[in-house]
Amino acid sequence: MITNIPGYPRIGIQRELKKACENYWTGKLSLERLELTARQLRKQHWDILQQQGIDLIPSNDFSFYDQMLDMSLALGVIPARFRPLQQSFANPASLELYFAMARGYQKNGFDITALEMTKWFDTNYHYLVPEFDHSSGFEILSRKCVHEFKEALQLGITTKPVLIGLVTYILCGKIKSAGLTREQLLQQLLPPYIQLLRELHQAGAGWIQLDEPCLVTDLEPAATALYEQAYHAIRTALPELKILLTTYFGGLEDNISLATSLPADALHIDLVRAPEQLNSVLEILPEHMHLSLGVVDGRNIWKNDFAHSVDMLRQAIAAIGENRIMIGTSCSLLHTPYDLGEETQLDAEIRQWMAFARQKVQEVAALRNILQGDTTLLDENSRVMNSRKSAPGIHIPAVQERMQQISAADTARQQPFSVRQRLQQERLQLPLFPTTTIGSFPQTVEIRQLRSNLKKGHITATEYDNDIRNAIREAIHLQEALGLDVLVHGEFERNDMVEYFGEQLQGFIFTQNGWVQSYGTRCVKPPVIYGDIQRPHPMTVNWSSYAQSLTEKPVKGMLTGPVTILQWSFVRNDQPRMDTAFQLALAIRDEVKDLEDAGIAVIQVDEPALREGLPLRKAQHETYLDQAVKAFRLAVSNVKDTTQIHTHMCYAEFNDIIAHIAAMDADVITIETSRSQMELLEAFASFSYPNEIGPGVYDIHSPRVPGVTEMEKLLDKAATLLPARNIWVNPDCGLKTRKWPETETALRNMVMAAKEARCHR
């Protein structure tokens, strides 16, 4: 039985790679030192895997920025706009070019935008989208995978090189030249790709892992054909190569016969996400193929349930024999934090249920030992699993009871929107084109300092409260002076829109060092939801009431929605994800009620991550969206009709889910649209979106101050698409990343644009 790890995190246990890269970018670290850090990290990771007795130790899973970008460099997929820059360097594959493609390049007379970034399947990891145009050389530019294989070999470790599969690489890219087809791309990319594989083989590689997660998605017939062509071409050129075709993030489903008919020597499947596929794969797997069973979850932080995994492994052994079995994690461990050993402050009971990357490697090794007869490990594990099932705080009867009692009435407002709109207008008396912001104001150094001083105990809670109140007071006065219509308190007390709520809810726990790479050098530290969610006390009412006490204008209460909290946390795996979303919704629902009781007339519940949760397979979209919408409605529906519910969404691309956005039935939605010049609004218009909507009139991602006329034009355009009385005026998103001076000017201009637009009516 072979043990197989598809990939290991690379950012460094203390985020060494992040720090080294960032210092290199600002000129504080030399290229030699950066490369030294990278080599040390690779060695550390190989050593860890080797010490655990892992057979298939990955190489080329390291990356300075992103594995898809690595592949673009490897195959010479350099977009035309980078050519002049490339030619200015002595080395055509220099790290300068690589980082320029990742981050854009604005010096030495160049001004080139970065490659687009997008989410890697349904993870929170973002990759750099390959851009294919006619100018690409399609020749090997970087032999990183070969170098890293040899580097490990010199350390005495024969690794398993990991490459993005060619078809997934092509399907995840964007074609920029008219007339270029994916079939042509495949023909052009195959020769350099095969050459790289040949060099790896010649350097002594045995198993080579080719990652093809697209095999768990809905494939067009043309894509199926690409798979057949690609793998037959590789096989013909390299009959001796040992290909480990690797799939993850879901089940093969209708692609099962495709995947098992490709000329590979082993197939890796994700049995955490799709345990049900084991039977059918075992039935159809050709005799020459090994099967790598991804039984240890590479996407979460929970300890493996050995009894369950052993069952699946034994079933596979019975069907195909132990010589054809590999035991592994479900996917690369890139998506998990490094080492639970670093967590010295976690609650001991909860901690024993958890496993990070390093522990997951141990689990894979342990599973092999169990199968070889060491059942003591099994007993210890089942003791832990049982303690998790019955520990206090996991299943809270009061929460369970409330979940049982959720009725249709709980997820609907009392009157339809048209009636609510009239009632709210009577109460709020807002002008045409009302102005507002999305919630947060600049998080200055002083504000951050305040929070960290409180955490470190350098200031008392009273001092902290006073200082935050001062910031709120200033923000309210400024908004009044600017003439905004619906004000916000500014979210100064929040480090992060999920963490802030998690810290106050029962059922959450926070790690000290549970960092996961999000993109490039950016890491996130998601909270962990371990048990039933309960709200012990109001979370935002004091701040919002204080803000409201300072002004006659309405102040918006500001909350994060259940789906977004779910999406940006590590979620418990002992109940369906959506049950957790409903528990979160109940907690938010109580907060909404308390805000209303405190006299807050406008309450916003942000759901920027609603679309992110879409399953990979289209067939599951409806169910997900229905439940996500239901969770949102559960959170906001127990208010009077005179209370105005807002929601906010960003990260564009809503066209395909507008019906569901409408079903959320928020009185007002604010969305990101300015960069697309209101294009998105056209989709809302053709749907005849019934409720009020605030299309962002300026992009908050840049310090640029928008002019009055340009925003006025956007508003005029919006008013041609939707009834004017339904249109709000606001920025694209929260202003926390901006500075005060530009924020002030931008908002002043925005209010002016709204006033001008009112005059046109």
Known binding residues for L-methionine: 438-440, 491, 606
What count of Cα atoms within 13 Å lies in the side-chain half-sphere of residue 310? 20
Radius of gyration of the chain (CA): 27
The partner in contact with residue 440, picked from Zn ion, ligand GLN, none with C-beta cut-offs of 5 to 8 angstroms by kind, is: ligand GLN
CB of 733 to ligand GLN, least distance (A): 5
- C-beta closer to ligand GLN: residue 611 or 736: 736
CB of 672 to ligand GLN, least distance (A): 8
Please list every residue from 591 through 610 that binds Zn ion, using CB under 5 A: 608
CB of 559 to ligand GLN, least distance (A): 9
CB of 616 to ligand GLN, least distance (A): 23
- C-beta closer to Zn ion: residue 100 or 565: 565
- C-beta closer to ligand GLN: residue 64 or 543: 543
Sheet holding 207-211, edge to edge: 2-4, 325-329, 290-296, 266-270, 242-246, 207-211, 160-164, 58-59
The partner in contact with residue 606, picked from ligand GLN, Zn ion, none with C-beta cut-offs of 5 to 8 angstroms by kind, is: ligand GLN
The partner in contact with residue 587, picked from Zn ion, ligand GLN, none with C-beta cut-offs of 5 to 8 angstroms by kind, is: none
CB of 498 to Zn ion, least distance (A): 13
Applying CB under 6 A, which part among 14-22, 210-218, 438-446, 524-532 lies near ligand GLN?
Answer: 438-446
Sign of torsion, CA 738 457 473 546?
positive
Task: Spell out the residues 6+ positions from residue 227 whose beta carbon is closer than 8 angstroms to its own.
Answer: 167, 212, 215, 219, 258, 262
DSSP label of 333? G
Is 62 in contact with 10 (CB distance < 8 Å)? yes
- C-beta closer to ligand GLN: residue 712 or 732: 732
Applying CB under 6 A, which part among 340-348, 407-415, 434-442, 582-590 lies near ligand GLN?
Answer: 434-442
Is 513 in contact with 566 (CB distance < 8 Å)? no
The partner in contact with residue 165, picked from ligand GLN, Zn ion, none with C-beta cut-offs of 5 to 8 angstroms by kind, is: none
**Spatial distance between the Cα atoms of 431 and 589, rounded to a whole number of angstroms:** 29
Q: Does 606 bind ligand GLN (CB under 6 A)?
A: yes
Known binding residues: 15-18, 119, 124, 438-440, 491, 522-523, 568, 606, 612, 648, 650, 672, 733
CB of 734 to ligand GLN, least distance (A): 2
Q: Does 733 bind Zn ion (CB under 5 A)?
A: yes
Which is it for strands 555-560 and 487-488: parallel, antiparallel or unpaired?
parallel
Applying CB under 6 A, which part among 102-110, 210-218, 690-698, 728-736 lies near ligand GLN?
Answer: 728-736
Assign 3-class secondary structure to 113-145. Answer: CCCCEEECCCCCCEEECCEECCCCCCCCCCCHH
- Stated length of the chain: 761
CB of 276 to Zn ion, least distance (A): 37
CB of 558 to ligand GLN, least distance (A): 6
Is 76 in contact with 177 (CB distance < 8 Å)? no
**Spatial distance between the Cα atoms of 613 and 566, rounded to a whole number of angstroms:** 9
Number of residues that bind Zn ion (CB under 5 A): 3
- Surface-to-core class of residue 568, CB atoms within 10 Å of its CB (0-12 exposed, 13-18 middle, 19+ buried): buried
Please list every residue from 638 through 657 that binds Zn ion, using CB under 5 A: 650
Q: Does 471 bind ligand GLN (CB under 6 A)?
A: no
The partner in contact with residue 736, picked from Zn ion, ligand GLN, none with C-beta cut-offs of 5 to 8 angstroms by kind, is: ligand GLN
Applying CB under 6 A, which part among 252-260, 452-460, 582-590, 733-741 lies near ligand GLN?
Answer: 733-741
Q: Work out the number of other CB atoms within 10 angstroms of the CB of residue 275.
A: 17
- C-beta closer to ligand GLN: residue 12 or 695: 695
CB of 736 to ligand GLN, least distance (A): 5
Give the x/- contact pattern for ligand GLN in 476-495, rule: CB under 6 A.
---------------x----
Token digits for 459? 């200031």
Provide the H-helix boundaries in 81-215.
83-88, 95-103, 144-154, 166-171, 182-202
The partner in contact with residue 115, picked from Zn ion, ligand GLN, none with C-beta cut-offs of 5 to 8 angstroms by kind, is: none
- C-beta closer to ligand GLN: residue 572 or 648: 648
Q: Does 558 bind ligand GLN (CB under 6 A)?
A: yes
Number of residues that bind ligand GLN (CB under 6 A): 13
Q: Does 497 bind ligand GLN (CB under 6 A)?
A: yes
- Binding-site member from 3, 329, 359, 440 for ligand GLN (CB under 6 A): 440
- Binding-site member from 733, 751, 753, 757 for ligand GLN (CB under 6 A): 733
- C-beta closer to ligand GLN: residue 343 or 672: 672
Known binding residues for 5-methyltetrahydropteroyltri-L-glutamate: 15-18, 119, 124, 522-523, 568, 612
- C-beta closer to ligand GLN: residue 420 or 736: 736
- C-beta closer to ligand GLN: residue 491 or 594: 491
Please choose, from the candidates 173, 36, 69, the residue with its C-alpha nearest in 3D space to the C-alpha of residue 519.
69
Task: Spell out the residues 6+ positions from residue 27 whose beta carbon is closer than 8 angstroms to its own.
Answer: none
Q: Catalytic residue, from 395, 458, 701, 760: name it.
A: 701
CA separation (Å) from 502 to 53, 494, 534, 646? 38, 11, 10, 21
CB of 66 to ligand GLN, least distance (A): 22
- Estimate the share of the chain in helix, then strand, then coil, as percent rounded to the nearest 5: 50, 15, 40
Q: At which residue do the structure tokens 């997929």 appear? A: 77
Task: Spell out the residues 6+ positions from residue 86 whose beta carbon is closer than 8 angstroms to its own.
Answer: 78, 92, 97
The partner in contact with residue 497, picked from Zn ion, ligand GLN, none with C-beta cut-offs of 5 to 8 angstroms by kind, is: ligand GLN
Strand partners of residue 555: 487
CA separation (Å) from 272 to 58, 250, 462, 620? 20, 8, 47, 17
Is 681 in contact with 726 (CB distance < 8 Å)? no
- The H or E element that residue 548 is part of is helix 541-549
CB of 391 to Zn ion, least distance (A): 37
The partner in contact with residue 558, picked from ligand GLN, Zn ion, none with C-beta cut-offs of 5 to 8 angstroms by kind, is: ligand GLN
Q: Does 565 bind ligand GLN (CB under 6 A)?
A: no
- Binding-site member from 2, 399, 438, 563 for ligand GLN (CB under 6 A): 438
Q: Does 439 bind ligand GLN (CB under 6 A)?
A: yes
What count of Cα atoms within 13 Å lies in the side-chain half-sphere of residue 229? 18
Measure CA 180 to chain center: 31
Please list every residue from 650 through 679 that binds ligand GLN, using CB under 6 A: 650
- Comparing every residue's Cβ against ligand GLN, the nearest one is 734
What count of Cα atoms within 13 Å lies in the side-chain half-sphere of residue 749? 19
What count of Cα atoms within 13 Å lies in the side-chain half-sphere of residue 12? 20
Give the x/- contact pattern for ligand GLN in 626-655, rule: CB under 6 A.
----------------------x-x-----
- C-beta closer to Zn ion: residue 163 or 697: 697
Token digits for 429? 């008396």
Is 606 in contact with 497 (CB distance < 8 Å)? yes
How large is the greatest C-alpha to C-alpha distance in the chain, in angstroms?
82
Q: Work out the number of other CB atoms within 10 angstroms of the CB of residue 34.
A: 18
- C-beta closer to ligand GLN: residue 24 or 501: 501
The partner in contact with residue 520, picked from ligand GLN, Zn ion, none with C-beta cut-offs of 5 to 8 angstroms by kind, is: none
Q: Work out the number of other CB atoms within 10 angstroms of the CB of residue 713.
A: 16
308 is catalytic: no
Could you list the residues that contact Zn ion (CB under 5 A)? 608, 650, 733
Q: Known catalytic residues?
A: 701
Could you list the residues that contact ligand GLN (CB under 6 A)? 438-440, 491, 497, 558, 606, 608, 648, 650, 733-734, 736
